[in-house]
Chain A
């Protein structure tokens, strides 16, 4: 017998009492949830307090700022779309421009003066009327205060003068023609509130609630990385939203967000940027959940280093010289099997790539003609390389003009599994051509990208209804002025023909004519072979049909819900009017409480029994 057992008494020791108390405390902590009202899956979008209809959206992205002058992130700008009117909006059906705060607009014959008619039935949430002066003041502030130009300064860079001759008339004078004047994505703010702000770079608009606005919702509360709460604006000129409240709740982990949707804690999950194929597949099997697998607004491409240079002609970086030959670029892209990428990597949640602008923007969508298309044809790719003078050596490796085997460095995002998966396919496909591939997957690709120290890179952009921006990043003007500076270029493309087309589309006010020029630009970009658009990834999102009866997608026929170019989804969402099937919460709670209590007591009883047995041994 061990010495430490020799003197055990059969009375309850203070130590045991303390231990049992501690164990009980831990058990109580674990059961704390039982002391609170149970929250079984709410079968309708209805809060407990007074039947308020709440639409809860799971989000992951932090708010950068709630100031319309500073915010650039998708969530923040989406909130601004909901809380402030813009001059114009985009139709949910097909993205064409529709009235917003402005009901009409026209340009002067010389294309330099735009006159907007401002609606008279829009009021700020503090009761004051929204006027042309609010719009004029917003634009003028951005033109004169660099701090206020932080987020949207590019929209007013070409403005010469902005005036409001009357409450319903806004006049903008331009320095040169600008076709994007019906696509000014700038929240118009109430002058009487914002003119009191001292320093626009420091004011985040996140302290005083409710925030005065005139959109379909009013921002009523915000807690960083916890929630953003908005209330329906009953006086919204287009009509009040059907839900009383819209809440963006934070779920930093997408699996947790999906769990919250399953449970009914949230009505909608967008994914960031998309639900994974596995998540979508599992949610499809759920009753009362609809997965919206919609054509996205992004393109996913492989960009080539075109011999990066600054505007002053100086070379930047060390792109492989063979890529200056268009035949080589075309050969590489003919050796990429887009169908396999869609089927195997995106598992069907994407559309095969073609032109630069995704098909959902139908007026600008372009596809190569049969004779123009660089279809998947590895044999033809090999012949092209041979003709270009890049033949295989004895080891089966293609060699460059310097006699060295060609090995391309492909820049990829370490955080994007698609990049890595496609990279492995490239190793195989281009390996068959005799070309080596070195995948350079980094958390932050910016540095080598800006330094031009890559041969090819995975690239992708979200496209807006007005494509001006994604077109502008391939102009010579976007190049950095010198190698030491940073330009707005995406990947150093500089082509005179493309630039001429770009300038023409920007000065073309006829929508049809402009779309035609844009398609010519896409064709030119395709022929140059600098951008191989492999896919248009879908926006995969899901919502509860027992909470949301109907919701508008954009485009209406098949489009996304989260991150639209307008407020259509949340403004139009109709609450489900299902019966409350989760009404036995209290009885369920009682049952579970009893069961848990029994489990805890049984545990404690077992502990005492074990202890008693031990002391019995001691007594012997």
Chain B
């Protein structure tokens, strides 16, 4: 018998029910997306405030001008007609024009999305790897000093408000403290006026502090989930069997215990992956990162309805897509899921 045969059937063959499983999940995702489209439209119209008055506030406008604005934004139409217009355009990829930026919503989103993905994507990769690594080691040595320190630190950092930690890092590592001068920029994504490699280095330099902030407050969650799942596995018979065969402890952990313990972590990874698109309002604000989180906040304050709706749709679509992907990938880890 091979060593692998002792573990649960990770990566086992998919059953014939898998296509049906896929179809069900994809259909579910489509329905969810449709629900988001409808909910988003009506939900954001409940925000108090008149976008036209907000935008014209502080300057002389006649009632006629206000009426022209309403007409231009389609706000003079009955709600049902606004809704059908919105749905019709959304299906063709037209999310309307931002009131405050006077630009297509799609343009504003595509302008800020790469910035957000760079920040949250980089942080995501680091905190996921770090969380799994430290979570695994913590579980394997649970109860020891290292485990207690590990989980303690993770919990403390996880509990910290990200904006507070960000400001703390700015004060210490950016402005400098005592004899230590500032090492990193205080904010923004670039200094401007740079190209090629110099630009890449400049962006990387600006990226460090916000990424460190995000990693610090996020890795704990992955660590704790991984640790908890692995602890559940550790008493299993197949691990005892593996050890009895004389397999190295490291191999037992990596080849047998960890893959079976990863299901909850995979779920969390995909949830986090979906969240990366939504950006991180507080961290983006503290570090003046020009991403979707900050854009969403600005859109809400007006309320800039087309922009709010467009962003809501993108955020929700990302989460739905990632959850669907997770559902489709589960059977690869555990064939029983797809049956």
Contacts and interface: CB of A to CB of B under 8 A. Distances in A.
Interface of A: 3-9, 13-16, 19, 22, 26, 29-30, 32-36, 38-41, 49, 62, 64-65, 67, 70, 72, 146, 149, 151, 153-154, 157, 201-202, 204, 221, 223-227, 229, 247, 249-253, 255-257, 259-260, 262-263, 265, 442-444, 446-447, 450, 461-462, 469, 472-473, 480-481, 485-488, 588, 592, 610, 618
A319 B68 CA distance: 29
Given A4-B252, A260-B187, A225 B294 contact: yes
Nearest to B163: A253
B58 A4 contact: no
B298 A253 contact: no
B186 A259 contact: yes
Nearest to B103: A204
Nearest to A473: B60
B204 interface: yes
B181 interface: yes
Contacts of A151: 59
A468 B137 CA distance: 71
Contacts of B130: 22, 26
B187 A253 contact: yes
Given A154-B59, A259-B186, A253 B253 contact: no
Interface string B49-71: 11011111111111101111000
B336 interface: no
Interface in B18-56: 47-50, 52-56
Contacts of A154: 59-62, 65
A444 B240 contact: no
A487 B180 CA distance: 58
A222 to B, nearest CB: 10
Contact residues of B: prevailing secondary structure? helix
B288 A253 contact: yes
B247 A7 contact: yes
A204 B288 contact: no
A30 B288 contact: no
Contacts of B72: 201
A19 B66 contact: no
Q: Which 7 pairs show the lowest CB-CB distances between chains A and B?
A: A444-B49, A225-B290, A13-B250, A15-B250, A154-B60, A260-B186, A33-B183
Given A446-B48, A592-B181, 6 more contacts: A19-B133, A157-B62, A226-B189, A229-B193, A253-B288, A486-B63
B111 interface: yes
A486 B53 contact: yes
Interface of B: 47-50, 52-63, 65-68, 72, 100-103, 108, 111-112, 126, 129-130, 133, 137, 140, 146, 163, 167, 170-171, 173-176, 180-190, 192-193, 201-202, 204-205, 207-208, 211-212, 234, 240, 243, 246-250, 252-254, 284-288, 290, 294-295, 298, 301, 303
Given A30-B212, A70-B102, A223-B192, A469 B175 contact: no
Given A442-B48, A461-B58, A592-B180, A265 B63 contact: no
A225 B126 CA distance: 26
B54 A224 contact: no
Contacts of A443: 48-49, 301
B303 to A, nearest CB: 8
Nearest to B49: A444
5 contacts: A253-B163, A255-B167, A443-B49, A487-B63, A488-B66
Given A227-B188, A592-B183, A22 B175 contact: no
Contact of B54 (A3, A39, A262, A444): A444
A26 B187 contact: no
Contact of B175 (A34, A204, A263): A263
Nearest to B205: A36
Given A256-B170, A446-B50, A250 B290 contact: yes
B48 A444 contact: yes
Contact of A447 (B48, B181, B189): B48
Contact of B188 (A40, A62, A226, A469): A226
A153 B201 CA distance: 46
Nearest to B180: A592
A350 B105 CA distance: 40
Nearest to A23: B133
Contact of A252 (B53, B182, B294): B294
A588 B193 CA distance: 25
A64 B208 contact: no
Contacts of B66: 485-486, 488
A7 B208 contact: no
Contacts of A461: 58
B286 A22 contact: no
Contacts of B301: 443-444
Nearest to B212: A30
Given A38-B183, A226-B188, A488 B62 contact: yes
Contact of A4 (B189, B205, B243): B243
B49 A8 contact: no
Contacts of A153: 65
B286 A256 contact: yes
B248 A13 contact: yes
A39 B248 contact: no
A153 B68 CA distance: 12
B192 A588 contact: no
Given A33-B208, A446-B49, A16 B294 contact: no
B205 A259 contact: no
A221 B192 contact: yes
B63 A480 contact: yes
Contacts of B183: 33-34, 38, 592
B170 A259 contact: yes
Residue from A15, A29, A72, A221 with most neighbouring chain B CB atoms (10 Å): A15
A250 B248 contact: no
B171 A259 contact: yes
Residue from A65, A226, A473 with most neighbouring chain B CB atoms (10 Å): A226
Contact of A19 (B137, B175, B202): B137
Given A16-B250, A65-B102, A252 B60 contact: no
Contacts of A485: 63, 66-67
Contact of B129 (A8, A22, A65, A204): A22
Nearest to A73: B100
A7 B249 contact: yes
A447 B49 contact: yes
A259 B181 contact: no
A416 B193 CA distance: 37
A95 B99 CA distance: 34
B53 A446 contact: yes
A256 B287 contact: yes
B230 to A, nearest CB: 11
A487 B50 CA distance: 13
Nearest to A154: B60
B102 A7 contact: no
Given A32-B204, A154-B60, A8 B103 contact: no
Given A7-B243, A30-B212, A227-B188, A488 B182 contact: no
Contacts of A4: 140, 234, 243, 249, 252-253
Contacts of A592: 180-181, 183
Contacts of B286: 252-253, 256
A592 B248 CA distance: 41
A257 B185 CA distance: 11
A154 B186 CA distance: 41
Contacts of A444: 47-49, 54, 301, 303
A154 B108 CA distance: 29
Given A256-B286, A263-B174, A447-B48, A224 B62 contact: no
B170 A62 contact: no
Given A22-B130, A204-B102, A472-B60, A72 B55 contact: yes
B288 A256 contact: yes
Contacts of A224: 108, 111-112, 290
B175 A5 contact: no
A338 B142 CA distance: 63
B295 to A, nearest CB: 8
